[in-house]
Amino acid sequence: MSRDGLAAALREAETTLADAGVATPRVDAELLAAHLLGVSRGRVRALAITGADAPAALADLVAERARRVPLQHLTGTASFRTVELAVGPGVFVPRPETESVVQVALDWVRARGVETPVVADLGTGSGAIAAAVAAEVPGARVVAVERSDLALAWARRNLADTGVELLAGDFRTALAGREGTFDVVITNPPYVPPDAVPVDPEVAEHDPPEALYGGDRGGLEHPAAAAVAAAAALRPGGFLVLEHGEAQGAAVERILADAGFAGIEAHPDLTGRRRATSGVIPTSPGRRSPNQNGDSRA
């Protein structure tokens, strides 16, 4: 890669990344340069116009990105709503569609004027959902649950000084003793069917399998368990929003119904694809008891 000028280096990087199949080659090239220079992406574009030199390590990072190492692993950070997260090997890189899932929960909280909601993030991974809720709802009391030791290390780093309570454990059991105390549960459980290997190498080769694959029943074993855990944790009238695959919406509706939820609603992401489903725990005496085995009969 040429290093005699930033503009030429970015053009060469863009070509290299495009040839490697990277979906956003120019953006990634600029973000890698921004990371090395310690400036914003907009500043990188300005520096390129003014004839600035390229950072010496840009070629090395571009080569790594061309091998489909995730951009976030190379920069060490991922943006999620209003927060910046430290990420790397061993933890799931948060996705834009999950930002929409958080928005569903925040809209519910704000529509009901709940100023100090008690919120659980089941399977927090990097801590993205919990950190975003804590940042955007200052009065919230947020509890995050994660069982992976590697992910927990990243979550501890990201949730330090946020006020979020981080619990190490399986979301099926980690909230035992707190039944009926949460206003909101947000969860992005593993939901990829075990035989559906993701196409993108960044996902298939770098995201931890335990954060991707949802177990038996077409990837719905873990979503069903999360729904049962949420039903137990929520107070009457409490709200669950669960992220899932585009084709899993109807099955997730049945999962939520079998777990005791009412008012079940589908939610699209920013591209219009159905990627989340919500439900409310009924307040009436006829509230259904969730199936403690997480059996959705889907």
Does 252 score more than 70 pLDDT? yes
Per the annotation, binding residues for substrate are 188-191
Per the annotation, binding residues are 123-127, 146, 171, 188-191
User: For 285-294, what is each residue's pLDDT tens digit?
Assistant: 555 444 433 3
Does 297 score more than 70 pLDDT? no
Per the annotation, binding residues for S-adenosyl-L-methionine are 123-127, 146, 171, 188
Average of pLDDT values for 232-242?
98
User: For 59-90, what is each residue's pLDDT tens digit?
Assistant: 999 999 999 999 999 999 999 999 999 999 99
Give me the DSSP letters along the chain: ---S-HHHHHHHHHHHHHHTT-SSHHHHHHHHHHHHHTS-HHHHHHHHHTTPPPPTTHHHHHHHHHTT--HHHHHSEEEETTEEEE--TTSPPP-HHHHHHHHHHHHHHHHTT-SS-EEEEES-TTTHHHHHHHHH-TT-EEEEEE--HHHHHHHHHHHTTS--EEEES-TTTTTTT-TT-EEEEEE----B-TT---SSHHHHTTS-HHHHB--HHHHTHHHHHHHHHHHHHEEEEEEEEEE--GGGHHHHHHHHHHTT-EEEEEEE-TTS-EEEEEEE---STTPPPP-TT-----
